[in-house]
Structure formats: C-alpha cells, structure tokens
Amino acid sequence: MKFSIQSVYEWYRGLIRNPKYRWWVLIGTLVYFVSPIDVIPDIFPIVGELDDVFLLTLLVSEFSQMLIEGFKARKGVTETPTAANTSEEGTQDKGTIDVDAVSVK
C-alpha cells in the first residue's frame, strides 16, 4: 500500500462532502486540534504544529468550498458558458460533457 498526501486529501474530502458524516468529521477535526495526542507531538517546535495546520487548512478550505456551492445552489447561479463549451453561433453545445479525470497509480 502506497501512502501519499493526495490519497489522504481525497479520503478526507470524500468524507466531509458526505452529508451523513459531515458533522462527525467536523467535530473530530476540532477535537484532534485541541487534543494533546497528535501524530506529531506539539512539543517539537514547528514540526509539531504541521499536522494541525495541515488538517485545519484542509477543513477550512473544504468547508468554505461546500458553503459557497450551497449558496450558489440556493440562488440558482450556474456557470457562464465559456468558449470551450459554446458553438460558433454563440449557443451552448448540449452534446459536451465535462469530466474530471483522476489518475490511478
């Protein structure tokens, strides 16, 4: 099994975006932050705070992104068509589907 920061990020992102586990992940992250038990103890200067900073940065970025998407969904705001998904006449091409690709190693 290969460990990478990207795999941890994808796992955490998947959990926090799941409505069933969202509040458990939020509470667990905050408990981990205030807990004296860490992966890297905080008694080591700078290095000890890296895991806390990484986790809080991840939490804030994902949670704020979810809030922004929620506000957009409530307001009914959609993305404006770009040159890549419009035809020459200026109308949106309905046959194009955007897909995010993830490489598997």
For residue 20, name the pLDDT band (cuts at 50, 70, 90): confident
pLDDT in tens, 72-91: 888 876 555 555 555 455 55
So where are the chain's domains? 5-79
Confirm if 48 and 42 have CB atoms less than 8 A apart: yes
What's the Rg (C-alpha) of the chain? Answer: 19
